Amino acid sequence: MYQATLSRRSYRFSDLRQLMAKASPARSGDYLAEVAADSAEERMAARIALAEVPLKTFLQQLLVPYEQDEVTRLIIDSHDVLAFAPISHLTVGDFRDWLLSEQADSLMLTRVAAGITPEMAAAVSKLMRNQDLILVAKKCRVITRFRNTIGLPGHLSVRLQPNHPTDSLQGIAASMLDGLLYGSGDAVVGINPASDSLPLLEKLNYMLDDVIQRFAIPTQSCVLTHVTNTLRLIERGAPVDLVFQSIAGTEAANSGFGINLALLAEAQQAALSLNRGTLGHNVMYFETGQGSCLSSNAHHGVDQQTCEARAYAVARHFSPLLINTVVGFIGPEYLYDGKQIIRAGLEDHFCGKLLGLPLGCDVCYTNHAEADQDDMDTLLTLLATAGLTFLIGVPGADDIMLNYQSTSFHDALYIRELLGLKHAPEFADWLTKMHITDDQGRLRDTAANHPLLLALQGEQP
């Protein structure tokens, strides 16, 4: 039992799960799950009580039972006691103060990351204002490599997302060319296929690999199909760079995705066996999003933000090259408006970085949410200030296959110019060599005889 008194009224919370949920900022998904605070006063009382909870409590009082959930078992069994030692004496409130202190610099945050559980990260985020989430995330350093180096301070990468509603190779190639000529694609060139047809998925892999190899682009490709399809593609000898999978924070929710930890481990080993990375061996790409556990009725009464943080434990176990929260994609049932989407994006980025992950964000919303592109401009600017690893680049910010609003190649140009952010260094060198950018990283005017344009037209460069 946890309790706090506010305005002469005593509030009681039956267990840690309820306390965490009641302390969460208001969002539609928690109201839908009937776990949210009934009032702003109850929410504040829960935060006061949560601030007094020792971090060690999260290792003893598990929100999802150990016996029932392999994600819980992963969190507990992989907990690094030595990494936890410097912060093991702190309460959640003390932890917030410590994270904001000068003592918690980038090196120290790297040292303690393996000792922080997702529940600890989620708990402390509930006590933090937006500026706190930004300041701490900015101090976190997470660097990954495959064919280039992602996550360096002062850098921002972009996933080039050339989706097409009929998986037209020509349409995808056109969007890919568009993105490359705007300097996007250093995180990954990643396609969400409309079809699960294995022959078509194979063609997409070969097409992406052909462009990357022909022009010696220091990046990686990914066809974002189910992990079982990727395993079959590897068995067929397709040129697979990264293995993609959507993941969630409970075993039951992952089962709804048709996956478990053993399957992800099998896929990781299959990708590693191809040895396609030139600079590193981070071969996994994960996507997450608040509300996924609730949407599959697999949340165990845990608030959606804590469930989301638990998904990061799954990702951390497989050392991904990339992971991003598709923050507003699931819809207003889970994040109702721009305010809730902005807060969720900052929470997700903070928790992921604190846990040692290369967290990116699909700054996005669906057309029936109470949000617009101005809200996305705000979130993009805040996340980039906080050290975002990568964002999404879609032609015109309008994904015509997935039918949602994201960020465009022009948005990437805006944020680079505003904050002086650079491309991944190897990709930056390639852009200069290809006369796409000048020595200062600024875009050049593209001539009609540019090799990439000629390639799209079927001519020899």
* pLDDT digits 0-9 by tens, 394-430: 999 999 999 999 999 999 999 999 999 999 999 999 9
Identify the pLDDT of residue 94.
98
User: String of b and e for 88-106 (b: at least 16 CB within 10 Å)?
Assistant: eebbbbbbbebbeeeebee
Identify the pLDDT of residue 446.
77
Length of the chain counted residue by residue: 461
With contact defined as beta carbons under 8 Å apart, do 36 and 22 qualify?
A: yes
Distant-in-sequence, close-in-space partners of 321: CB < 8 Å, separation ≥ 6? 144, 145, 146, 150, 188, 220, 242, 280, 282, 283, 284, 285, 358
Given a cut of 50, the residues of the chain with pLDDT beneath it are 459-461
With contact defined as beta carbons under 8 Å apart, do 250 and 67 qualify?
A: no
Identify the pLDDT of residue 461.
38
Identify the pLDDT of residue 389.
98
Q: Between the CA atoms of 41, 45, 47 and 52, what dihedral angle is there, to the nearest 10 degrees?
A: 170
Identify the pLDDT of residue 451.
84
Identify the pLDDT of residue 441.
85
Identify the pLDDT of residue 458.
64
Tokens linked to 331: 């819809």
Tokens linked to 278: 């030139």
Identify the pLDDT of residue 459.
44
